[in-house]
Amino acid sequence: MVTPFRQFVLKVHSRCDLACNHCYVYEHADQSWRSRPKVISAHTVGRVAARIAEHVRRHDVDKIDVVLHGGEPLLAGHERLDEIARVLRGALDGACQVDLHIQTNGILLDERHCDLFAEHGIQVGVSLDGDKAANDRHRLYASGRSSYDQVLRAVELLRKRPEIYAGLLCTIDVANEPITVYEALRELQPPRIDFLLPYATWDNPPERPSPTAYADWLIAVFERWNADGRPMSVRLFESIIRTTRGDASLSEAVGLEPSTMIVIDTDGSYELVDSLKVAYDGAPATGHDVFQHALDEVATHPGVLARQGGLENLSATCRECPIVTSCGGGLYTHRFRAGSFDNPSVYCADLVKLISHIRDETEMPAHKIPYAGLDSLATGSGSAADMERLADAQLSLRRALIAALRPRAADEVWELFTRLDRHHREALEAVLAHPYVRVWAVERLQGEGEATYLANVAAAAMIRAGQDVTLRVAAGHGAVHLPTVGTLHGVDGDTVTLVAQAGEIGTDGTAKHEWRPVRTVSCGDFSLVLEDADPHRDCHQWPAADRLDASALSAWRHSFEAAWFLIEKEYPQYAQGLRGGLTTLTPLAPAPTGRDVSSTARHAFGAVAAALPADPATLALLLIHEFQHVKLGAVLDLFDLFDKSDTRLYHAPWREDPRPLEGLLQGTYAHIGVTDFWRTRRNVVRGAAQVKAEEEFARWCGHTLAATGTLAGSQALTPLGERFVARMRETVAAWQAGEEAPWS
Ligand code: SF4
């Protein structure tokens, strides 16, 4: 399976008008530039464009970056650059989004270039190492003359053309004072700064006055950038912040993402990453070119694959490194030593210090919902994005609960969590998202003793990830439950050694077990766990049903399928929220009177519990109603909407007994969903059903408006709570007047 290329560095001119002594093209081992055409020909550009178009179409790539590079690309001249952009845009038009860039030393940049780049949507990056003293250390003409004034002139031109000003590229020299460099660059108001570690290998290590001179230099800049409020993007720092939080890197300099970059030289030959020129003569060569080879062929070149293997392709030292998911072994070139890349980076000590510092100094992202999102949630349904924000916050909460239990977990279990988080995060998060994992964790934290069930959570995640596992897990009532996976029946004792191997699940004993996988209900592409086995599910205000027999299971499946069809068709505004947050449907024991029973539990985010109602429309109503409680619970986990010390009881129009303020708020919010259900239902059904729908709508409009009045008059709402309740009230008032809610 080929990993498609997404970044193309196209050499349009192979010579340069400067003679910077840190340049990897001319000043290092590889001297292949000597044999290349100076300027890329129109014919070669045509072949390049055709190869890229063929590649992106074959792999359905949605967006690519093409960087016009050199040497110095402006030496190609206005006409040739214009022609190159036209050919690329022409060939790739309609194939995918193409972001064009040019990386220049700026010496030749003029207004005509700027017009041309604006016309073709080409973003311009300029290489500049800081103030004049810093820049003059390396970036000189062959005569030794400074290039600084010329480069500054180019940057001033770009500052007047912000639509094409991409930023500055600064190669670090630790002899330069870091803050002076940073401030000189910041003054030029670049949208982005790229700090580049000097190209070096273990065979040609960088100039280094102290063991971590580069980390110390970058940390000084990071501190100032952070204190300044991060006035521009700094790709290296942002990549480190992102990778320490598990997100993708923005740069090849750090992170474990596969490289998707290929270089194409002026003669049409494909080359590996350009910086390899510092390793040895011929290091970047692939032996392939645009005339004879498709990009798919070069995509399987060992040199390309070596930069795509993630953790497996790193040295043993890196694989064991605690910050490897953030560092990723650093830039590939920096690992070279005596013919091999199987080493940590020559900047390893710097990377350890820099990444650890940024990780420790950067706050974890706060979960936020914009006011517009909260307003939209107050209308009843909320948007898919709001639901995603709430679900993300719930995941963080569960992670915090699990982390709080770490002192009560066996070391081997915690190591498994660490491994899962690093390599199988999706599987781990799917198990952590199970509503009753939080219920268990909260119960456990309120009591004492071991947190043995953590092993069940870890084992479930391992099985979901398709991994074998042998682990001592918690058992009870003759069974081992693995959340979201299933239950193993026929075991003895409080703990057993679970053995999951090649899809078979058992124990290390010889007894016969019965494995009962978790069952689901579904409609189309949406499915939920039908939870009738989790030992922690009995937390609702009504007893949970026992395991369903075949006929009860079939009834639930049919009813859910029809109910979900109805929700998708008639209540799409609720369907999007349910899709984003509802994971589990928990059958409750039927009420002896046959009345409808449904419930949620404060800590079971994602679960709705109900006894099977008489018809699918009622199930749809129960799902919408109860999920309102789930959503509001998640909002209350993030925000204070009322004074928690208020102990008064309030009248709710739909029940006899008075309620605490939170109960009244919960009930009102849930009944806004009910009101909305009947509002739509009036237009769906006919005859007596329609009369009933009208009555129910009028009844619930009255109840919810009265309840929002009680809430607003309680004097116990926070300013945010007042806003939330006011939106609820305006919503129902609008419905009552036959209008749409103003915040929906
Ligand atoms: S810090 Fe060093 S050992 Fe760790 S991943 Fe990076 S290069 Fe490898």
> Is residue 363's pLDDT more than 70?
no
Give the residue, by CA position, lying nearest to ligand 1 atom 6.
Answer: 329
Q: Report the pLDDT averaged over residues 346-368.
A: 87
Distance 238 CA to ligand 1 centre (A): 18
Q: Could you read off the pLDDT of 191-231 as tens digits, one per residue? A: 999 999 998 999 989 999 999 999 999 999 999 998 888 88
User: According to the model, what pLDDT value does residue 32 have?
Assistant: 61
User: According to the model, what pLDDT value does residue 476 have?
Assistant: 93
> Is residue 297's pLDDT more than 80?
yes
Instruction: Report the nearest atom of ligand 1 relative to the CA of 322.
Output: 4
Q: Compute the distance between CA of residue 656 and CA of residue 375 in angstroms, rounded to an integer.
A: 30
User: According to the model, what pLDDT value does residue 193 have?
Assistant: 97
Distance 215 CA to ligand 1 centre (A): 13
DSSP state of 584: E
Asked whether 469 lines ligand 1 (CB < 6 A), one says no
SS (H, E, C) 95-146: CCEEEEEEEECCCCCCHHHHHHHHHHCEEEEEECCCCHHHHHCCCECCCCCE
Asked whether 313 lines ligand 1 (CB < 6 A), one says no
User: According to the model, what pLDDT value does residue 277 have?
Assistant: 65
Residue 271 tokens read as: 């080359």
> Is residue 272's pLDDT more than 70?
yes
Considering only residues 97 and 307, tell me which one the structure prediction assigns the higher pLDDT: 97
Mutating to test ligand 1, I would choose from 348, 353, 357 the residue with most ligand atoms within 8 A of its C-beta, which is 348
Tell me which residue has tokens 């064991």.
320
Q: Is 71 helix (H, G, I), strand (E, B) or coil?
A: coil
Q: Max CA-CA distance within the chain?
A: 97
- pTM value > 0.95: no
Asked whether 613 lines ligand 1 (CB < 6 A), one says no
Does the CA dihedral 365-370-371-374 come out positive or negative?
A: negative
Asked whether 354 lines ligand 1 (CB < 6 A), one says no
Mutating to test ligand 1, I would choose from 317, 320, 331, 341 the residue with most ligand atoms within 8 A of its C-beta, which is 317
Total residue length of the chain: 744
Considering only residues 39 and 281, tell me which one the structure prediction assigns the higher pLDDT: 39
Asked whether 344 lines ligand 1 (CB < 6 A), one says yes
Residue ranges of the alpha helices (H) in 533-687? Answer: 550-570, 572-581, 616-638, 661-681
706 φ, ψ to 5°?
Answer: -60, -40
Asked whether 318 lines ligand 1 (CB < 6 A), one says yes
> Is residue 164's pLDDT more than 90?
yes
Residue 44 tokens read as: 């070669």
Please name which of 197, 179, 318 lies closest in space to residue 256, comparing C-alpha atoms: 318
Q: Could you read off the pLDDT of 694-727 as tens digits, one per residue? A: 999 999 999 999 999 999 999 999 989 999 999 9
Tell me the sheet residues that pair with 670.
Answer: none
Distance 208 CA to ligand 1 centre (A): 18
User: According to the model, what pLDDT value does residue 36 have?
Assistant: 75
User: According to the model, what pLDDT value does residue 687 have?
Assistant: 95
Residue 245 tokens read as: 């939080």
Lowest-confidence region among 15-19, 489-493, 563-567, 634-638: 15-19
Distance 337 CA to ligand 1 centre (A): 15
Residue ranges of the alpha helices (H) in 481-615? Answer: 550-570, 572-581
Distance 335 CA to ligand 1 centre (A): 10
User: According to the model, what pLDDT value does residue 290 have?
Assistant: 95
Distance 276 CA to ligand 1 centre (A): 19
User: According to the model, what pLDDT value does residue 278 have?
Assistant: 62
Residue 262 tokens read as: 């290929």
Asked whether 345 lines ligand 1 (CB < 6 A), one says yes
Considering only residues 657 and 362, tell me which one the structure prediction assigns the higher pLDDT: 657
Please name which of 378, 367, 370, 440 lies closest in space to residue 632, comparing C-alpha atoms: 378
Q: Compute the distance between CA of residue 598 and CA of residue 608 in angstroms, rounded to an integer.
A: 8
> Is residue 676's pLDDT more than 90?
yes
Asked whether 323 lines ligand 1 (CB < 6 A), one says yes
Q: Which amino acid is at 197?
A: L
CA angle (584 as vertex; 579, 589 as ends), nearest 5: 135
Asked whether 327 lines ligand 1 (CB < 6 A), one says yes
User: According to the model, what pLDDT value does residue 450 have?
Assistant: 87
Residue 501 tokens read as: 């191997």
User: According to the model, what pLDDT value does residue 334 have?
Assistant: 94
Asked whether 461 lines ligand 1 (CB < 6 A), one says no
Is the link from the previous residue into 493 a cis peptide, with omega within 30 of 0?
no
Q: Could you read off the pLDDT of 325-355 as tens digits, one per residue? A: 899 999 998 999 988 899 999 999 999 999 9
Q: Could you read off the pLDDT of 46-103 as tens digits, one per residue? A: 999 999 999 999 999 989 999 999 889 999 999 999 999 999 999 998 889 999 999 9
Give the residue, by CA position, lying nearest to ligand 1 atom 2.
Answer: 348
Tell me which residue has tokens 């709001």.
386
Distance 274 CA to ligand 1 centre (A): 22
Asked whether 611 lines ligand 1 (CB < 6 A), one says no
User: According to the model, what pLDDT value does residue 33 have?
Assistant: 58
Distance 333 CA to ligand 1 centre (A): 13
Which residues are CB-contacts of 440 (< 8 A; sequence separation ≥ 6)?
453, 536
Distance 348 CA to ligand 1 centre (A): 5
User: According to the model, what pLDDT value does residue 273 have?
Assistant: 75
595 falls in which pLDDT band (50, 70, 90)? Answer: confident
User: According to the model, what pLDDT value does residue 247 have?
Assistant: 76
Q: Compute the distance between CA of residue 306 and CA of residue 258 in angstroms, rounded to an integer.
A: 9
User: According to the model, what pLDDT value does residue 42 have?
Assistant: 94
Which class for 400: exposed (0-12), middle (13-18), buried (19 or more C-beta within 10 A)? exposed
22 falls in which pLDDT band (50, 70, 90)? Answer: confident
User: According to the model, what pLDDT value does residue 119 have?
Assistant: 96
User: According to the model, what pLDDT value does residue 143 have?
Assistant: 85
Chain mean pLDDT for the chain: 92
Q: Report the pLDDT averaged over residues 35-55.
A: 92
634 falls in which pLDDT band (50, 70, 90)? Answer: very high
Q: Could you read off the pLDDT of 368-381 as tens digits, one per residue? A: 788 888 888 998 88
User: According to the model, what pLDDT value does residue 28 have?
Assistant: 52
User: According to the model, what pLDDT value does residue 279 have?
Assistant: 62
Tell me which residue has tokens 């579904």.
522
> Is residue 633's pLDDT more than 80?
yes
Distance 308 CA to ligand 1 centre (A): 17
Residue 199 tokens read as: 């190209």
Instruction: Report the nearest atom of ligand 1 relative to the CA of 323.
Output: 4
Lowest-confidence region among 106-120, 273-287, 459-473, 643-657: 273-287
Distance 173 CA to ligand 1 centre (A): 22
Q: Confirm if 486 and 454 have CB atoms less than 8 A apart.
A: no
Asked whether 352 lines ligand 1 (CB < 6 A), one says yes
User: According to the model, what pLDDT value does residue 688 have?
Assistant: 96
Asked whether 316 lines ligand 1 (CB < 6 A), one says no
Asked whether 317 lines ligand 1 (CB < 6 A), one says yes
Q: Report the pLDDT averaged over residues 386-407.
A: 91
Instruction: Report the nearest atom of ligand 1 relative to the CA of 327.
Output: 6
Distance 347 CA to ligand 1 centre (A): 8
User: According to the model, what pLDDT value does residue 302 have?
Assistant: 85
Residue 198 tokens read as: 């000097």
Instruction: Report the nearest atom of ligand 1 relative to the CA of 321.
Output: 4
Q: Could you read off the pLDDT of 130-159 as tens digits, one per residue? A: 999 998 988 888 888 999 999 999 999 999
Give the residue, by CA position, lying nearest to ligand 1 atom 3.
Answer: 318
User: According to the model, what pLDDT value does residue 20 have?
Assistant: 82
Q: Report the pLDDT averaged over residues 545-561.
A: 97
Q: Is 507 helix (H, G, I), strand (E, B) or coil?
A: strand
